[in-house]
Amino acid sequence: MAKIIDRSISIGEFIPQPDDDLIICRCEEVTKGEIRRAVHDGMYTMTEIRRYLRTGMGLCQGQTCSKLVKGIVAKELGVPADQLEGGTSRAPVRPVEMKILANESEKEVSKHE
């Protein structure tokens, strides 16, 4: 169940940091500063951050950056990282070419392919 969050409670001003231009999500090239700013724009959940900035929406689907993003968001909100629910996982868990996904086959997968 979602935690109750009053979005009007102040988390303070956005204060620039020297490493704000550090790339966190490599697939979508999202920086730490953008993530921190998004929190100040009201994006308080991992999913909202994802939808706002596309973090974790690239080829690796967040396998590399989701922990990093979570850490940054949690710190900005002043909550422990494990209290933030991660983004949703969705099939396919590996990128699949359209023509392969389209090709549903009855032919079983055998040992010698």
Partner 1 sequence: MNSSAEVLIIGGGVIGCATAYYLAKKGIEVIVLEKNQIGEGGSSRNGGGVRQSGRDPRELPLAMYAVEHLWPILSEELGMDVEYYKKGNLRLAKTPAHIKILEGLTSRAQAVGLKVQMIDGEEVRKINPHLSDEVIGASWCPTDGHANPMLTTLAYYKNARKAGARFITGEKVLELKKVKGRIRKVITDHSEYEAETVILAAGFESRKIANTIGIDIPMQRVLLEALVTEAQPKMFEQMLGTAEADFYGHQSTHGSFVFGGSSGMDAYTSDYDRPVTTSFTASCICRGIMKYFPELAEAKIVRTWSGWIDECADKVPVIDKVEEVPGLIVACGFTGHGFGICPAVGTVLSELAMGEQPSIDISGLKYGRFKAKI
Partner 2 sequence: MKRIELIVIGAGPAGLSAAIEAAKTGMEVVVFDENAKPGGQLFKQIHKFFGSKEHRAKVRGYKIGQELLEEANKAGVNVILNATVIGIFENKEITVMAEDRIVHYKADYLIVATGASENMVPFEGWTLPGVIGAGAAQTLINLHGVKPGNKILMLGSGNVGLVVSYQLLQAGCEVVALVDAAKRVGGYGVHAAKVARCGVPFYLSHTIVKAEGEECVNKVTIAEVDESWHTISGTEKQFEVDTICMAVGLSPMSQLLKAAGCMMIEDNKRGGVVPKTDSYGQTSIKGIYASGDVSGIEEASSAMIEGRISGIAAAKDAGYLSETLFQEKVNSYHKAIDCLRQGMFAPENRGRTDLTSTEEGVLISQSLLTKGYVDETEIYRYPGVRTGIKGVHPVIECTQNIPCNPCQDACQRHCIKIGNSITSLPVVDETEICSGCGMCVAFCSGQAIFLVNEEYDENYATVTLPYEFLPLPKKGDQGKAFDRSGTEVCDAEVVEVRSAKVMDHTNLVTIKVSKDMAMKARFYKAIV
**Residue numbers of the site for partner 2 (CB under 8 A)?**
19, 22-24, 26, 32, 61, 63-65, 67-68, 81-86, 88-94, 96, 99-101, 103-111, 113
- Of residues 60 through 79, those in contact with partner 1 by CB under 8 A are 61
Q: Which residue has the tokens 């979570």?
A: 70
Structure tokens at 62: 């967040």
Structure tokens at 12: 């303070």
What distances in angstroms separate CA 47 from CA 39, 54, 62, one per listed residue?
A: 12, 10, 11
Footprint of partner 1 on this chain (CB under 8 A)? 1-8, 41-45, 47-48, 51-52, 54, 57-59, 61, 88, 90-92, 95-99, 101-104
